[in-house]
A and B are shown apart, each in its own frame.
Chain A
Amino acid sequence: MSEYPYTFRDPIHGFIEFNQLEWDIINSPAFQRLRRIRQLAWTDMVYPGAMHTRFEHSLGVCHVATRLYDSIVGNDKDILEAEYQIFDSGIRRQRQIIRLAALLHDLGHGPFSHAAEEVFPFKNSEDRYVHEEYSGSIAANLLSDLIENHPFNTNNFSIKVSDINDIFVPNSKNKSSILWKEIISGQMDADRMDYLLRDSYHCGVSYGRYDLNRVINTICLNEDSEIGGHVVGVDEAGTHAVEGLLIARYMMFTQVYFHKTRVIFDYHLEEALKAILQEQGGVFPKPTPDEIEAYFDWDDWSVLAKLKDGTGGDHGRRLIERDHYRLLHDTPEVPSADDLFKYDEIVEKLDPNRIVKRDAKKSWYKFSKEEIRVRRKSAGERTSLPLATLSPIVNGLSTVNQRRIYVPQEYRVEANSLITS
């Protein structure tokens, strides 16, 4: 019998295989809920094809994460053995942990994915909960029995839910999970590698395409001499493939994720959700054992029903009628100090209750110039360098720091006259 007898046909990766444990998780209510969470919220208001869900993305991340892991093991088994004392049985167990982490990492997304996080409750005086904490809570409270007592697990791996959560819940506690979490959430992670291709495909754009096979083929563990220890990077042979990946990120951010019209629909959703959740204090339930089941009931379908019956208020109406706020002013993608001070001056002139500000730096999927280490071999010795020092293209990419001001259509004329006065 095959270890992976179950197969999905995926539009991005072709056939994706799963074992019995994974199949049973996929068929659980917790995972099936992801069919009712759209990947890109209201992006279909701009790109009508963007109706895909977290369900297919999670399957894709599992597939890509496995390929990344297998490639690292193939390329750098000596490092894993010498530095991390991970040998064959440990490699096999870690592979299963990564596959499960990839499957489960998005379980906690709220309705319409990231936009809902602005309506998550605060966990302390400064910070709201994040969706990974909900994912961890759903795994711990709703899936632990299935995972920890599944024969496929007990007979082969004895994996605990905490082993899986360590990979994607913030501030994991053990050494190997800190290394491997980069595969799920890092600069060269399976999450980005899947969503760029998938979002590009569903939006009907080409911006997110890059050579996935070459990136996977050349991924490796690179020593960072400044601090000591390893980070997930790439062999020099993959330099141009990674350039493609970074350019894809930049293009998808500017053309899709931070598209001027797409972005304002996140705001309308946030405000509509606050209205829908008014009786609960304007926020979703917490990811605590006593509240996680109440949270679990929320998905796109329940929100859409509320929007249809008018509970979403004025912003709910705007979503239904596509009557969105309009862009009044924006800075360049990489503004100078003077651009930013001019932006502040414009904000000062406007009625603060009638404007919405959006900041690329605070956006989901923000594009920041990040350091990827490239391995070079010289005289049999491995060294690593930042990609930007080897690639003029990457060196030329800058963190996008664009800021925008939106206003309701009915305030636009008055606002324009105020900022030109």
Chain B
Amino acid sequence: MKNALHKFALLTYIADSMSGKHALGKKALQKLVHLCGEIGNVNTGYKFKLYTYGPFSRELAGDVDILDSMSALSVRFDAVRNGYEITVGEKADDLIGKASGYLNENKEKIDYVISIFGDRLAKQLELSSMLIFILKNDLVDDPTNDAEVIDKFLEIKPHYEYSDVVAGLSEVRSLI
């Protein structure tokens, strides 16, 4: 279970770190884990593919459900917000304790990512996560060409403002 334990501990630790901030939804957690891997250089163990909702790991989605079953996470639907809210469950501390070696090794990197992105909403996280995915997965011919990257992003995600994408790309380039 060693690798699985690390993944479980990572998700639980992020949920724990987000307590006191705004509600952590399923998609926001996906993006934060993706950013931990790409910006924090954390070995998350998850592989992300591009779906309509941006970089997404089916395994991670399944693990959130497994952790809910194990009471390490609590996943509840908020009808007012029309989204899920993930918080830590009663077994979270046990799980985090059992993976203390992995977490100690990566805590600083995860905290760094959360310090930058922890206060952002899912849509804002999607912006950064998607831009990184475009840059790192050959979705454009020339990743150094800002105009090409922005055009590709807006082709895939037309609901974003142009100025937000420009600012997001500038930030992402400074972080990776």
Contacts and interface: CB of A to CB of B under 8 A. Distances in A.
Given A228-B123, A231-B53, 5 more contacts: A83-B158, A127-B47, A182-B52, A226-B122, A361-B62
Contacts of B79: 389
A231 B52 contact: yes
A370 B53 contact: no
B159 interface: yes
Contacts of A391: none
Interface string B49-68: 11111100011011101100
A340 B1 contact: yes
A361 B57 CA distance: 13
Interface residues of B, number: 45
Contacts of A386: 77, 84
A178 B58 contact: no
Nearest to B81: A226
A10 interface: no
Contacts of B47: 127
23 contacts: A83-B158, A127-B47, A172-B50, A175-B156, A178-B52, A224-B53, A226-B27, A226-B83, A226-B122, A227-B53, A227-B122, A228-B123, A228-B159, A231-B52, A334-B69, A335-B70, A344-B1, A361-B63, A368-B59, A369-B62, A385-B82, A388-B77, A399-B65
Interface string A153-180: 0000000000000000011111100110
Contacts of B49: 170-171
A150 interface: no
A392 to B, nearest CB: 13
Contacts of A229: 52-53, 157, 159
A335 B71 CA distance: 11
Interface in A213-249: 224-231
A141 B23 CA distance: 49
Interface string A358-397: 0001000010111100000000000101101100000000
A1 interface: no
Given A171-B50, A226-B27, A368 B65 contact: yes
A83 B157 CA distance: 11
A278 interface: no
A74 B2 CA distance: 49
B25 interface: yes
Contact of B65 (A173, A178, A182, A398): A398
Contacts, number: 106
A178 B77 contact: no
B171 interface: no
Given A226-B123, A337-B91, A401-B66, A389 B53 contact: no
A341 interface: yes
Contact of A371 (B26, B137, B152): B26
A18 interface: no
Contacts of A370: 58, 61-62
Interface in A305-340: 334-337, 340
B69 A383 contact: no
A186 B49 CA distance: 12
B139 interface: yes
Interchain residue pairs A-B with the least CB separation, the first 4 = A368-B62, A228-B159, A399-B65, A399-B62
Nearest to A389: B77
A129 interface: no
A172 B51 CA distance: 9
A369 B138 CA distance: 30
Contact of A369 (B54, B65, B82, B94): B65
A186 B58 CA distance: 10
Nearest to B130: A227
A404 to B, nearest CB: 13
Contacts of A340: 1, 4
Nearest to B72: A337
A233 B159 CA distance: 20
B157 A228 contact: yes
Interface in B1-40: 1-2, 4, 25-27
